[in-house]
């Protein structure tokens, strides 16, 4: 299983991730990204059919703000 959380401290609101993976990411009022599945707690396993989008967004983020893990994040950003 894959889990994802956005590091909002390093996100620069570039807007790439939700364009790449609209089912996984959205932007808050400041344009900072968050995970749609779990409101950026990183606790929801990403469905298999969205894993390709997830990896594309992960690789496309210019500030490496999208964190991936095999374990839930419990709201704690862990940089890879």
Which position among 61, 67, 68, 73 is part of the footprint of ligand F3S (CB under 6 A)? 61
Among 38-46, 48-56, 57-65, 71-79, the segment contacting ligand F3S (CB under 6 A): 57-65
Rounded to whole angstroms, the Cα distance separating 14 from 11 reads 8
By CB under 6 A, the residues from 14 to 53 that bind ligand F3S are: 14-17, 33
Q: In the numeric block, which tokens belong to residue 36?
A: 């749609």
Q: Which of 10, 12, 78, 13 is nearest to 41 (CA)?
A: 78
Residue ranges that bind ligand F3S, judged by CB under 6 A: 6, 11-17, 33, 61-63, 65-66
């Amino acid at each position: 299983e894959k889990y994802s959380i956005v590091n909002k401290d390093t996100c620069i609101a570039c807007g790439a991730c939700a364009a790449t993976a609209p089912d996984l990411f959205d932007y808050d009022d400041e344009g900072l990204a968050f995970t749609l599945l779990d409101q950026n707690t990183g606790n929801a396993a990403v469905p298999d059919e969205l894993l390709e989008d997830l990896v594309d967004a992960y690789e496309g983020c210019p500030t490496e703000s999208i964190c991936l893990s095999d374990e839930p994040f419990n709201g704690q950003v862990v940089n890879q």
